[in-house]
Amino acid sequence: MGVMIFVKLAWRNILRNKRRTLIAGTAIGIGLAAMIYMDAIMIGMENNMVATATSTFLGDGQIGREGFRKTFEAELTINNVDEVVKDLAKEPLVDKFTKRVLGLGMISSPANVSGVSVIGIDPATEPDLSKVDEAMIMGSYFEGDDSRQILIGRKLAELLEVELGDRIVVTVAEAHTGDLSQEMFRVSGIYYFNVAEMDQRMAFVRLDKAQAMMGLTGQAHQIALKLHDNSIARVPGHDLWMRYSVNGNEAVGWTTLLPQLDKIFNLSKFGILILGVLLFAIVSLGIINTLFMSLYERMFEFGVIRALGTTPFAMGRLVIFEAGVLGLISQIMGCLLAAVTLAILSYVGIDYGGIEFAGVTIVDRLYPEWQVHQFVIYPAAVLLFTMVIALYPAIYAAKLTPARAMRKSF
Amino acid sequence: MSESKTPVIVAQGVTKTYEDNGVPVEAVKGIDLTIMPGEFTAIVGPSGSGKTTFLNIISGLDTVTGGRVSLDGKPLSEMTGRELSDFRRDSIGFIFQAYNLIPVLSVEENVEYVMLLQGIAKSVRRDRVKEILARVGLADYAHRLPTKLSGGQQQRVAVARAMVAQPSLVLADEPTANLDSKTGGELLDMMRDLNRTTGMTFVFSTHDEMIMERATRLITLRDGKVASDEARA
């Protein structure tokens, strides 16, 4: 039996009531466009947040001594750090890296005192890994050789009531003896990340100065890494992490350093799935309604077609084909709508700047990200879904007896 | 009446009872009827006499409550839904009162439809469509949609569709009801001519005097029973 005649019939039947097809197609298309748009926004947001989280200070991954991330104990420095650095310099997967020392300390001014993380950074390599240099709003990033320069956040400066050039005293404990080490610094720069933790609870000094204060000359607590391919950071068992997780050290990607962020992304994906299911449920009611309206409107015609010898299976198939045509039209409308919306938004972006989410502040404008799967998988899913949903009216049509369908018949 | 020994239709004690809002309605009350090949038969009777129900039953569109119907020697009650569909497709041509062409298909496609269902080769289909459209005088209208034709032309397409697959039986429901007398007369003459030349059996359900005048057999139904059965010259 010629299948093409049913394809032809389905196509022409669907175009018979153009207004209804347009309305139904638009409704389904909007659902599809919403799915594509949400996916693009989520990918854009994820990329934005990952970029913000990793490029602000964290890095794509870090190497540290086992246990340091949890306890922050000053004596837990990287074992064989010079060898690790030598290896990293030859590591093809690693683009840039920088050493840091971190210590809990106290910072005091004549006006106030606050607990902070004192972080020793290498002024030359740190800008490759973080945006401390770009975040300066007053003064400047480390210049010259003055070892008493200190960079603090705007909120900390407000708390301490200090300005550029003011003196502050930093107190940290020596790593091995526990003795307190105190040094006077001069505020050389004030930064603003718009991240509360960084703006209020961190202070940056030169690496060698911090090492000296903590009695850790030549040592480091942390090596932040920037990878050529940052997707490796999402693979916890990747060979890179395994190779550097030796001699009591551990190497991990950002998903391990910021597990809450990854969990939030997974949660968001689940949210999209739920939203998608709801959206498809609404759309499916529209499809069923459209197909049944079309079916009831042509009940007598269906009776005639059955009377001419069309089998119940062929009748059901006709309805499925009609749904397929409707799905195809909806696909085109949905993809066009999504493409236009995304083209505009990926050009102008969406201003979510300053919003903190899962501990990460979105710094840049959010740009939805187009991906091929959005215009392949979702439209295919809509088409398939439309045809599956059409099974209900198709079975109804297949079960119609000619006499019942024609009602008045002869 | 034809001299062939195998009747096209044999109805034996056919009864049909409907439920109308829970009330049983006996539409056909035991009809015994045999229609032989080549007949040009009209079933007449007042509204509610059972003509519609009887035609639905003998075409396999509806089932019997009691009795037995055979078409071309095959009992309908022994056929599955699929077999009934195939039987209608291969053995029965339908002509409806309101033409009931498929509006989205052209004249040519409407006529070709049953042959497509039958799986007949494209070249054969094309030849037969061409031939039958020429015969009903619509050769120049092959690519038109039914909505672009007059009522008479549409009914000619319906006749062509009913006959193109060369069924043994053509069932026609008030085929002239929506036509003026001139067009109706021409159409009936055409069908009678086809009946004479092809030997195809025609059964009409009608109130139309023109059909009655041309019929070779007139069966009158009243209250679900055969009131008279008259062979005509």
Closest CA to A181 of A189, A173, A193, A191: A173
Rounded Cα–Cα distance for residues A81 and B223 (Å): 107
SS3 (DSSP) at A97? strand
Predicted confidence band of residue A118 (pLDDT cuts 50, 70, 90): very high
Say if the Cβ atoms of B85 and A311 lie within 8 Å.
yes
Does one domain contain both A75 and A29?
A: no
Domain assignment present for residue A60? The answer is: no
Domain assignment present for residue A370? The answer is: yes
Rounded Cα–Cα distance for residues B90 and B167 (Å): 6
Calculate what percentage of chain A has a pLDDT beyond 90: 46
Confirm if B193 and B204 have CB atoms less than 8 A apart: no
Mean pLDDT of A63-82: 92
pLDDT of A49: 80
The whole-angstrom distance between B160's CA and the closest CA on chain A is 13
* pLDDT tens per residue across span A124-164: 999 999 989 999 999 999 988 889 999 999 999 999 999 99
Does one domain contain both A204 and A266?
A: no
Say if the Cβ atoms of B85 and A12 lie within 8 Å.
no
Predicted confidence band of residue B4 (pLDDT cuts 50, 70, 90): very low
Domain assignment present for residue A30? The answer is: yes
Confirm if B141 and B149 have CB atoms less than 8 A apart: yes
Closest CA to B11 of B52, B41, B51, B54: B54
Rounded Cα–Cα distance for residues A44 and B96 (Å): 61
Stretch among A110-119, A260-269, B30-39, B147-156 having the lowest mean pLDDT: A260-269
Does one domain contain both A287 and A352?
A: yes
Mean pLDDT of B21-48: 90
Q: What type of residue is A18?
A: K
Greater confidence (A281 vs B66) lies with B66
Rounded Cα–Cα distance for residues B107 and B220 (Å): 35
Domain assignment present for residue A254? The answer is: no
Report how far apart, in Å, the C-alpha atoms of B57 and of each of A307, B28, B31, B36, B214 are. 12, 10, 11, 17, 24
Domain assignment present for residue A252? The answer is: no
| End residue of a domain, out of A184, A217, A247 | A247
Domain assignment present for residue A58? The answer is: no
Does one domain contain both A235 and A333?
A: no
The number of C-beta contacts closer than 8 angstroms across A and B is 82
Say if the Cβ atoms of B119 and A410 lie within 8 Å.
no
Q: Is the pLDDT of residue B2 over 50?
A: no
- The pTM assigned to this predicted structure is 0.71
Greater confidence (A399 vs A362) lies with A399
pLDDT of B129: 94
Does one domain contain both A267 and A237?
A: no
Does one domain contain both A197 and A344?
A: no
Report how far apart, in Å, the C-alpha atoms of A355 and of each of A26, A264, A322, B207 are. 34, 15, 46, 81
Number of independent structural domains in chain A = 2
Domain assignment present for residue A222? The answer is: yes
Q: Is the pLDDT of residue A199 over 70?
A: yes
pLDDT of A407: 57
Say if the Cβ atoms of B61 and A401 lie within 8 Å.
yes
Distance of CA A98 to the CA centre of its chain: 25
DSSP string, A211-245: HHHHT-TT--SEEEEEESSGGGGG-TT-HHHHHHS
pLDDT of B31: 94
Rounded Cα–Cα distance for residues A54 and A57 (Å): 6
The whole-angstrom distance between A380's CA and the closest CA on chain B is 28
Q: Is the pLDDT of residue B47 over 60?
A: yes
Greater confidence (B82 vs A353) lies with B82
pLDDT of B233: 66
Stretch among A90-99, A264-273, B81-90, B182-191 having the lowest mean pLDDT: A264-273
Give A104's strand partners: A117
pLDDT of A408: 41
Rounded Cα–Cα distance for residues B81 and B60 (Å): 9
The chain B residues in contact with chain A (CB within 8 A) are 51-52, 55-56, 59, 61-62, 81-82, 85-90, 94, 96, 100, 102-105, 109, 113-114, 116-119, 161, 171, 173, 205
pLDDT of A158: 95
* pLDDT tens per residue across span A21-44: 888 888 889 988 988 998 898 888
Say if the Cβ atoms of A401 and B62 lie within 8 Å.
yes
Burial-class residue A59 by CB neighbours within 10 Å (0-12, 13-18, 19+).
buried
Check CB contact of A397 with chain B, cutoff 8 Å: no
Closest chain A residue by Cα to residue B206 = A410
Predicted confidence band of residue A189 (pLDDT cuts 50, 70, 90): very high
The whole-angstrom distance between A12's CA and the closest CA on chain B is 6
Does one domain contain both A216 and A359?
A: no
Q: Is the pLDDT of residue A196 over 90?
A: no
Q: Is the pLDDT of residue B148 over 60?
A: yes
Check CB contact of A312 with chain B, cutoff 8 Å: yes
pLDDT of A258: 83
Question: What's the CA angle centered on B76, arms B73 and B80, to 5 degrees?
Answer: 125
- Torsion sign across C-alpha atoms A171, A173, A175, A177: positive
What value of ipTM does the predicted structure carry? 0.83
Say if the Cβ atoms of A307 and B205 lie within 8 Å.
no
Q: Is the pLDDT of residue A60 over 80?
A: yes
Predicted confidence band of residue A360 (pLDDT cuts 50, 70, 90): low
Confirm if A44 and A268 have CB atoms less than 8 A apart: no
Overall size of chain B counted in residues: 233
* pLDDT tens per residue across span A374-394: 999 989 988 888 888 889 889
Domain assignment present for residue A220? The answer is: yes
Say if the Cβ atoms of A301 and B171 lie within 8 Å.
no
Residue environment code for A186-198, b if the CB has 16+ CB neighbours within 10 A, otherwise e: ebbbbbebbbeeb
The whole-angstrom distance between A387's CA and the closest CA on chain B is 22
Does one domain contain both A42 and A81?
A: no
Rounded Cα–Cα distance for residues A16 and A108 (Å): 80
Instruction: Tell me the residue range of the domain where A304 lies.
Output: 3-53+261-406
Predicted confidence band of residue A358 (pLDDT cuts 50, 70, 90): low
Confirm if B61 and B69 have CB atoms less than 8 A apart: no
Neighbouring C-alpha atoms within 13 Å toward the C-beta of A8: 13
pLDDT of A283: 78
Say if the Cβ atoms of B85 and A406 lie within 8 Å.
no
Rounded Cα–Cα distance for residues A169 and A182 (Å): 7
**Chain B residues within an 8 Å CB radius of A13:** 104
Confirm if B162 and B136 have CB atoms less than 8 A apart: no
Does one domain contain both A193 and A322?
A: no
Per-state percent for chain A, helix, strand, coil, to nearest 5: 55, 20, 25
Confirm if A240 and A88 have CB atoms less than 8 A apart: no
Rounded Cα–Cα distance for residues A250 and A78 (Å): 9
Q: What are the structural domains of chain B?
A: 38-51+80-231 (3.40.50.300)
Check CB contact of A395 with chain B, cutoff 8 Å: no
Say if the Cβ atoms of B173 and A1 lie within 8 Å.
no
Show the tokens assigned to B38. 């080549």
Mean pLDDT of B104-123: 92
Does one domain contain both A272 and A229?
A: no
Does one domain contain both A237 and A287?
A: no
| End residue of a domain, out of A185, A215, A247 | A247
Residue A145, phi then psi, degrees to nearest 5: -115, 10
pLDDT of A287: 80
Say if the Cβ atoms of B104 and A406 lie within 8 Å.
no
**Chain A residues within an 8 Å CB radius of B161:** 308
| End residue of a domain, out of A224, A247, A270 | A247
SS3 (DSSP) at B2? coil
Chain A interface, mutation test: which of B96, B105, B112, B155, most A Cβ atoms within 10 Å?
B96
Check CB contact of A18 with chain B, cutoff 8 Å: no
Rounded Cα–Cα distance for residues B205 and A332 (Å): 49
pLDDT of A45: 83
Distance of CA A145 to the CA centre of its chain: 40
Mean pLDDT of A278-293: 82
Show the tokens assigned to A191. 């930064």
Confirm if A166 and A186 have CB atoms less than 8 A apart: yes
Does one domain contain both A175 and A319?
A: no
Check CB contact of A100 with chain B, cutoff 8 Å: no
